Amino acid sequence: MNKICPNFDEALAGIEDGMAVMIGGFGGAGAPIELIHALVERYKKTGSPGRLTVINNNAGNGAIGIAAMIYAGMVAKMVCSFPRSSDPKAFTDAYLAGEIELELVPQGTLAERIRAGGAGIPAFYTPSSYGTQVADGKPIAEFDGKHYVQERWLKADVALIKAEVADRKGNLTYRKAARNFSPLMATAAKTTIVQAGRIVEPGEIDPEQVITPGIFVNRIVEIPDPKQEEALLREGAK
């Protein structure tokens, strides 16, 4: 068992037009910049994969990462909780021009829907969004005298995530708040593709400290010294 891929072509193989792609990260922390840009390059060269549904907490910042996907024209729909950022122009322009669809999901519901997708829970109830526009059209149920909204699981064809350390069996650790959605997304995608800053031998990650067990990971590509989205933006990346 060796999940390590020698290059982006192998790591990103099989990502096709119209797929749903979960992308880890909250703000710049955990954004798998190198994986995203390899996919953007592929799209620019081959015209594919396009018409993607992208699932992330945000909707891009500046002109890198998910914003670069939007500028390239690869994204048909965003599923996110907060499509704003310090520089949300890429998404905002496309959205106001009607070129990109938005499914707005409260952040905790987004996290729970992804977890449910990975955990085989097709639907659950949450108090979040009850009585608001966001709940329009969703089933409502009462439990113990309180109202709740039924939400469905969220799955994806592919997850692109960033880990700090990985082994060939797919065990992962993350760095600080770069963990965020990534362990959930790893469970909810058919194919989970990881960029890891460092690859170690199985057993070198303490079994007590594995955050994502290898069962949830399909492919790993090693990216030492990965770019950090927020740092890039502050350096003025275009």
Residues near its own copies (CB under 8 A): 112, 116, 119-127, 141, 143-144, 146, 148, 152, 173-174, 176, 207-209, 211
* Closest to 130 measured CA to CA, from 140, 118, 120: 140
CB of 1 or CB of 143, closer to other proteins: 1
Cα–Cα distance, 28 to 122 (Å, whole number):
30
Give yes or no for residue 32 binding other proteins (CB under 8 A).
no
Is residue 82 near other proteins by the rule CB under 8 A? Answer: yes
Tell me, residue by residue from 155 to 184, as one string, x for binding to other proteins by CB under 8 A and - for no binding.
------------xxx-x--xxxxxxxxxxx
Binding partner of 173, given its own copies, other proteins, none, CB within 5-8 angstroms per partner class: its own copies
Partner that binds at residue 125, options other proteins, its own copies, none, CB closer than 5 to 8 Å by kind:
its own copies
Residue 184 beta carbon to its own copies: minimum distance, rounded to whole angstroms: 13
Binding at 195: pick from other proteins, its own copies, none (beta carbon under 5-8 Å per type): none
**Nearest residue to 191 via CA among 15, 9, 1, 6:** 15
Residue 152 binds what, of other proteins, its own copies, none (CB under 5 to 8 Å, by partner type)? its own copies
Neighbours of 107 (CB within 10 A): 14
User: Which 3 state secondary structure label does DSSP give 14?
Assistant: coil
Q: Does 150 contact other proteins by CB under 8 A?
A: no
**Of 41, 51, 73, 126, which one interacts with other proteins (CB under 8 A)?**
126
CA dist 39 and 36 (Å) reads 5
> What is 61-129 written as a DSSP string?
BTTBTHHHHHHHT-EEEEEES----SS-HHHHHHHHTT-SEEEE--HHHHHHHHHHHHHT--EEEESTT
Among 130, 152, 197, 199, binds other proteins (CB under 8 A): 130
Look at residues 101, 87, 43 and name the one whose alpha carbon lies nearest to residue 69: 43
Instruction: For residue 200, give the H/E element and its range.
Output: strand 189-200
Q: Identify what 124 binds: other proteins, its own copies, none; CB under 5 to 8 Å per kind.
A: its own copies
Q: Does 141 bind other proteins (CB under 8 A)?
A: no
Q: Which residue of 56, 128, 191, 195 would you call a contact of other proteins, by CB under 8 A?
A: 128
